Amino acid sequence: MKKLLLIAGLLVIGAIAFAGKYENELTERMKVAEEKAQTGWDSGVRVDMINASLDLDTEWEKEMNKVYDLILKKLPAKEKTKFKAEQNKWVKDRKVKVQKAYDKYIKEEGPRMAGELAASERLSITKERTLELAKRYDKLNK
């Protein structure tokens, strides 16, 4: 009986200790995808480098959509509408930022490098937003 209580107590402590750690779990999950991307970046082959950024961006986008859905489930109806509008604006803003970055890189680096640099820019923007949403989700769970 004492062992059962001890195990139950440890489980409760463990659950409390890990509650609200979505951002940390997300970062851990993404390490594998980031290591895979690093292999592409290290190859020195331009197409591999671009594809590595695009593939990693896709993985971050999937994670962003997951946490976005988790946040939506937690919000009251009035806040859901605001949050959806905020995310739609963010998607439009990201598109504009990436296009501006591409145009800038075309002028500065030429067309061969512009795709790679713009893909990297999109990846950075997506990752930043995903981590921002993960933090927001953690706050909702406190």
The per-residue pLDDT for 126 is 97
pLDDT at 117 over 80: yes
pLDDT in tens, 42-70: 998 988 988 999 999 999 999 999 999 99
Domain ranges of the chain: 22-140
Q: Tell me, what amino acid is at 98?
A: V
pTM for this model (two decimals): 0.81
Name the token pair of 23: 């951002």
Measure the N-to-C terminal CA separation of the chain; round to a whole number of Å.
32
pLDDT at 6 over 90: no
Q: What percent of the chain has pLDDT over 70?
A: 86
